[in-house]
Each structure stands twice: as structure tokens, then as C-alpha cells.
Amino acid sequence: MPDVRCGSDGEQELQERCGTRDRAQRFYREQVLDRLNTRMIDFVRRMDMAFIATADRHGECDASLRAGKPGFLHVIDERTLAYPEYRGNGVMAALGNLWENPHIGILLIDFVHDLIGLHINGSARVVEDPALRRRVPGLPAAERGRTAERWVVVDVEEAYIHCRKHIPHLVPAAREERQWGTDNPIAKGGDYFGARAQQRALVAEH
């Protein structure tokens, strides 16, 4: 059976060096799709958080968390999905990366029930909220009074399983009401890691 060409040149080279090519080829043939199938779509629709990976044109990476009610990551069709971007700290690291480099990786993990994950890789574009709502009926409404400023629309190129072997089983706990959209530094986490205090100390030294 001819080889399936998936992944990067680096993947292919390391598979040869490490003797894993046959296993990798079997995985590509049996598990990697170029679209979302019905079970993947159902999985996406019940997830309430996603890990997002982007990189700028130089390859400098950023990993971020997006979360909301199940369905916040909206499946437009088997080849397209979108997630909202709300008012944040204004840094726009992920969006800035996508502005330069459209490649995106999304990892969804069910920590509670099935202990399984789904990788979605593709290319993304940033679309303003009013423009996308005109084109996509059924786009989720504002959540907790917040309206998305814009959406990241992802064209799916690869979708495949993340095995459950090392996924921890987590039990949801009741959480206090959050102050969504607040600029209150305490509510946002304050200087939890001490970075601001350290920066002030460095400035004082100089």
C-alpha cells in the first residue's frame, strides 16, 4: 500500500530515523481525516474549552485557552468552524499571529466523560462579528451579555484523535460567578506570578 503523505517534513524524517514509519502510516490511513465526521462534530459541539496554537511568520509560537458554554466553538459545516473573540487585555497574541500566518492548531479534550481528545488543524481567518452573522445563520448569540467582537473562522485540513492514555479524569466543581469583561486586576488574577513586582524591582535597581 502506498505511503500516505501527512504531517511535516520533520515528522517524516524522524519516523525514518526512529523506525516508526509503519506505525505512523497506519495512524495516518486509519485516523486522519480532511474534514469533521459526524462523531467529531458532535464532540466539538459539547466541548466547553479549547486549546489554541498559533505561530507568527517567524515560527514564534503562542498557546492559548478559549472557553464558553458547549457549542461556543461553532461548527458551520464539516470543513469549517468558528470561535468567538471577546474584549480581552488588548494584546491579541493569537490574532496577531493569525494575521501573519494563518496556520492554526486546536486541541479539544473531554476530561470528564470519555477521556479522549480531538486535534483539528487548518488555516484561519479573522472575521468581524456583524460580517459573519450576515453569512452564517445560527451563530451563537451573546453569552453572559458579552457580544463577540470578531470570530476566528477555521478551514479544517486535518482532524484526528488524541489518545486517552494520559488524559486525567477530572470532576467538575461549582465555580463562583465570574466578572466577565472586567478590568478589575484582582478579579483577573492580579499579579499572581509576581511579574509586576519583579519588573518594578528591576526598574528600581536601574
85 and 21 in a common domain: no
Q: Which domain holds residue 24?
A: 1-31
Element (H, E) at 54: strand 49-55
Query: pLDDT by residue (tens digit) across 146-178?
Result: 788 999 999 999 999 999 999 999 998 876 666
Shared domain for 9 and 84, answered yes or no, is no
| Cα–Cα dist 37/39, whole Å | 6
Please state the pTM of the whole predicted model: 0.87
Domain count, the chain: 2
Q: Classify residue 96: in a domain, yes or no.
A: yes
d(CA 127, CA 38): 26
Q: Is the pLDDT of residue 183 over 80?
A: no
pLDDT of residue 6: 81
What is the mean pLDDT of the segment spanning 56-66? 96
Identify whether residues 49 and 148 lie together within a single domain: yes
Digit-coded pLDDT (tens) for 8-52: 899 999 999 999 999 999 999 999 999 999 999 999 999 999 999
